[in-house]
Structure 1
Amino acid sequence: MPALLAILLTACAQLEMPPGGPEDRFPPYVVETVPDTFAVVEPGLRDIFIRFSERISERTAGGTLDDAVVVSPPVDRVRVRHSRYGIAISLGEGLLPDRVYRITVLPVVNDMFANNLRDAFDLVISTGPEFVPNVVAGMVEDRVTGRATPDVRVEARFLMGGDTIVHWNVSDSAGVYSLRFVPDGPFEIGAWQDRNRDREVGEREPQAAFVAGELATPPDTSFSVLSLIEPDTTPPRLARVNIVDSVTLRFEFDDYLEPTVSGEAFSGELAIAPEPDTAVDAAEEEDSLAVADRRGPLMLDPETAARYTDSVAAVRTADSVAATQLADSIAEAGSLDSLAAANVLDSLLAERLVEPRRVIVVRDTIRVRFFQEHEYTRWVAFREDSLARAQEPDSATGPGTGDPEGPEAPGDGAAADSVDIPLGLSGLIIPSRTVVGVLDGELPPGVPYAASVVGVANIHGTSGGEGVDTVMRPLPPPEPEDTTEAEGDAAAGDTVTPPDTVTPPDTVATPGALGLAGAVRPLELPFLRSRGIARPGQALTHPPSRRPRRTARAPGR
């Protein structure tokens, strides 16, 4: 029995909606104000009462009751008290003379069923001046995302007779603000997220700088979109550089960049990055020689690469004298050590190889042309359109005569203008944290480069952004070794090779015959040591040949 009584008492204490009848889904609305709207009142008025169509809740949909009422121009010590069917507003020291006041009830006031006011309600009264229907309106956006921003304090400051009269409001859920019945003439308007409700612009509060406006002959309307930006006085810093392809890099920063500043204002380059000088033991040295003996790509500077190409052409025409002279010039250039040059050219002379080794041109520096993301999008569109038009049979320039380099200025041409660039509510380009760097030559694989950039400005206009990061393209996979000849020799092991078919020793092409004997000054790149390039002062020797030898058998066996 006591347990049953406790359950009944607990059930009676629970708050529930009254049983019976349909659920109330209609929002409350204002039915009466004291004083009446558009009334002319005496200066010093301190009390205002607003009655609603039904009982309202003491709790609002956001904040307190004090935050649910806007008095513009502002009045000190505004307090809002709840009553059964309305709210009582206390205006502190009272209204000043010669002002038109707007008391706004925001749509956060709700009834007992949590139905909010459908729209904000304005009560307009005057302490002397006439009511002029001037309007300052617009929207508030987040500058970074371009989307509408609600609950932002917007102020318009009018200079009248040496005094500054401030009219203000907050943006609604759609980012829209409206200041009605304001004075005519010039004004300044700005906005900020008043997070601590102190009516002052905080150093860390997102804000839109005050801009000039003017209301001419009344009635007049002024519309503007205000863009909020998080405060930041430090220049952007380079966070990382990502490789897009062999000629394109993407530079990422720790802050959003000002999109109206062209990438042509930035400067930078790629320079070979030295690796730490570490000790090399005997085993690693032997492995380096083995790497040099493989038929992998040759990493040469532009001048030596051209000489190597000429030597290949000489070998193909069986001009061994010309090949020897070119081999000497390559060795003197110092871009190949004696071992690598001998292995390459000896094999070419001995076997008349049709396909030479791949040459990777390594330059000390590579120039970079910078683009903002939207500039790069337009530039790529222009290039693609130019190449497509150049391939058309009726093209004015003829097939293949288009300009593959694209426009001199990013975004020139009709194709570039048709590209969809993301814009905010204000029509400004959405900012990005990255810029694109287009190289004036291919980024060689396996070579570390220091990518630098300077002169970058963030979304606040703070310039001086810079940074350096190291990038390196991965090496291509090694070509599979050709074992066909070795397998053929093993299968024909019982075949007797006539002695007169053996090449005499004095006719074998040697490093000395090619002018490559002795140590050669290497390319001054520490990272190439592991690829078989000699260190200064190192004497190079040839490793044992890896080619299977043919064994001659005596006749009759």
Structure 2
Amino acid sequence: MTAHAPTRFEVLGGVGLLALIACAKMEPPPGAPADPLPPQVVAIRPDSLVVPPNFDGSAEFIFDEVISEGSSPNQGLGTGDLERLIILSPSDEVPKVSWKRNRITVRPKEGWQPNRIYRIELRPGVVDLRRNRSDSTVVITLSTGAPAPEHRLDGRVLDWTRGQPAVGALVQAELLPDRLAYRVATDSNGAFSLAPIPNGEYVVKGVLDQNRDMRPDPRELYDTVRVAVGETSVGEVWAFPHDTVGPRIENVAVRDSTTATITFTQFLDPVQR
């Protein structure tokens, strides 16, 4: 599959969260002409929105040149430079990500499960040997027997404590009743578009992914929204701290004989009565 068949795979603009550092062992040849262009995906395997029979291989992103492996190895911990650029869902495990000179290969740690729709996203941040950085997102949609998906979810995540868009936040959409989780990251405006995914009822969680592992952590700020079958708009998800301790009075400033300003230790719900 080549980049001349854009209907076969999806390329989206986006803002990367991590630029890879070129591997010290891989350098451009001496005297080579300057190359200001970033590496481009020219093919994917298998093709998107197909059902490969008895597929047991790896999904592949193929580039037009040799790319850098990065300085942090990919050891299945989610801390490798290339591992941080891959979002494979639905899966709760860190996928197996490998560098193959001009290819990145991906497969679930637990193997491909039958009758599922997999979404393998390569985020911006891949660099070549001259440290040119890609700024595009490429998505492979792989079916292991389930019907081809045509649904999408759009919305925005905001940081409650700062009152501003949450850049690079984790969005996890759990398909009910099995709670299969599809994930994506927000852009520079806190917006996200998760597609294509199966139609159904979802519980969408917006998380301020402080450790950048694309997994929810109980200590991270979040909130959830329930989305009915057939709905595509998630709306705004305000991520805020969750704990079991209610707001406490921190200070009382008396302004006059009838007015006082009370300051609490936490933000209050603006819609409460």
TM range (shorter): 0.7 to 0.9
The structural deviation recorded for 1:34 is 1.8
Conserved? CA contact 2:27–2:129, under 8 Å? no
Return the structure number with greater strand share.
2
> Counterparts in 2 of 1:346-385, with a 5 A limit?
none
The structural deviation recorded for 1:142 is 0.3
Q: 1:93 to 1:241 in 2, by over 3 A?
A: closer
Q: Does structure 1 residue 225 correspond to structure 2 residue 257?
A: no
Match of 1:140 among 141, 157, 172: 157
Percent of pairs with identical residues: 31
CA distance in 1: counterparts of 2:219 and 2:84, whole angstroms? 21
- 1:87 aligns to what? 104
Unaligned runs of 5+ in 1: 1-14, 263-557
Local SS of the residue matching 2:201: strand
> Counterparts in 2 of 1:67-216, with a 5 A limit?
67-74=84-91, 76-159=93-176, 163-195=178-210, 201-208=216-223, 210-216=224-230
The structural deviation recorded for 1:106 is 0.9
- 2:262 aligns to what? 251
CA distance in 1: counterparts of 2:113 and 2:250, whole angstroms? 55
Local SS of the residue matching 2:84: helix
Conserved? CA contact 2:27–2:130, under 8 Å? no
CA distance in 1: counterparts of 2:196 and 2:94, whole angstroms? 23
Conserved? CA contact 1:187–1:212, under 8 Å? yes
Conserved? CA contact 1:60–1:108, under 8 Å? no
Q: 1:249 to 1:168 in 2, by over 3 A?
A: same
Unaligned runs of 5+ in 2: 1-25, 73-78
CA distance in 1: counterparts of 2:188 and 2:215, whole angstroms? 22
CA distance in 2: counterparts of 1:43 and 1:124, whole angstroms? 16
CA RMSD of aligned residues (A): 3.1
Q: 1:255 to 1:36 in 2, by over 3 A?
A: same
CA distance in 2: counterparts of 1:244 and 1:22, whole angstroms? 71
Q: Radius of gyration: which is bigger?
A: 1
- For 1:99-129, what per-residue CA distance to the aligned partner results, in whole angstroms no more than 9, with x for missing partners? 2211100112222333332221101121223
TM-score normalised by structure 2 residue count: 0.75
Local SS of the residue matching 1:137: strand
CA distance in 1: counterparts of 2:229 and 2:131, whole angstroms? 40
The structural deviation recorded for 1:200 is 5.8
One-letter amino acid matched to 1:50: F
Local SS of the residue matching 2:157: strand
- For 1:197-241, what per-residue CA distance to the aligned partner results, in whole angstroms no more than 9, with x for missing partners? 777643321111x3221232xxx6333221111223222222223
CA distance in 2: counterparts of 1:23 and 1:35, whole angstroms? 33
- 2:40 aligns to what? 29
Q: 1:204 to 1:241 in 2, by over 3 A?
A: same
The structural deviation recorded for 1:147 is 1.4
> Counterparts in 2 of 1:1-20, with a 5 A limit?
none
CA distance in 2: counterparts of 1:243 and 1:20, whole angstroms? 74
CA distance in 1: counterparts of 2:110 and 2:54, whole angstroms? 10
Q: 1:107 to 1:60 in 2, by over 3 A?
A: farther
- 1:39 aligns to what? 50
TM-score normalised by structure 1 residue count: 0.39
Return the structure number with greater helix share.
1
CA distance in 1: counterparts of 2:168 and 2:71, whole angstroms? 14
Match of 2:66 among 36, 49, 55: 55
